[in-house]
Amino acid sequence: MKLYAISGLGADHRVFDYLSLNLELEVLPWLDPESSESLESYVRRMALKIDTSKPFGLIGVSFGGIVVVELNKIINPEFSILISSVVSKDEVPTLYRLVGKIGLLKWLPLFLFNPPRVLAHWLFGAKNKALLTAILDDTDLRFAKWATQRIATWNSTTETSNLIRVHGTSDRILPLPKHASALKIDNGTHFMIVDRANEVSTLINRNTPQQRI
């Protein structure tokens, strides 16, 4: 079965390179968002890249997980996997939602979406600092601004079925809410998909329904 993968904000296939999964992985590249495009419209365009004629699964990291939740509303994967992500607007940190509510992000200049590397390394909790730096250096800041706005204004309350969720207990960017159900990695950070890829892979392989592999 094919597993369609969607990376985090500004990231690419490199964050999946360290995983060892019992599935055929195909990373979907980010599309260029159209001017003021809604998340719903963007996700519908992403869905066109997925072959729904055969059984398939979805996996999303961080913002990619939000896209996976939205994809579940219009297509029917056998299961979905979220890594270091959120399942509804209620899990988006309050500060993010407040900034989104007042519309501050649209007025910020692009350079503010390119964080100092020392700060980024701390926020992501990255051990593989070289890879994170390379990813940030390649990030399209216009896409980063658009995606950040969509996270801050996300209003979904829809439950996602057949969900496998993996989250670190030390995630500084999208902290796991106390009430949330997830497969937890102790002291896992937002960059654990790279830094602790073996543990993430093991949890996914153990919890993916065997009849669907």
Ordered by where they begin, the domains of the chain are: 2-212 (3.40.50.1820)
Question: Alpha-carbon distance 167 to 51, whole Å?
Answer: 28
pLDDT band at 211 (very low <50, low <70, confident <90, very high): very low
pLDDT at 172 over 60: yes
Mean pLDDT across the stretch 74-87? 97
Longest dimension (CA), the chain: 49
What confidence score (pLDDT) does residue 210 get? Answer: 56
pLDDT at 212 over 50: no
What confidence score (pLDDT) does residue 50 get? Answer: 98
pTM: 0.95
Among residues 211, 212, 188, 121, which one has the least CA distance to residue 201?
188
CA angle 104, 109, 115 (to 5 degrees): 95
pLDDT band at 35 (very low <50, low <70, confident <90, very high): confident
The pLDDT > 70 percentage for the chain reads 98
Average pLDDT over all residues of the chain: 94
Tokens of residue 116, six digits: 């100092």
pLDDT band at 10 (very low <50, low <70, confident <90, very high): confident
pLDDT band at 11 (very low <50, low <70, confident <90, very high): confident
pLDDT band at 123 (very low <50, low <70, confident <90, very high): very high
- List the beta bridge partners of residue 58: 4, 80
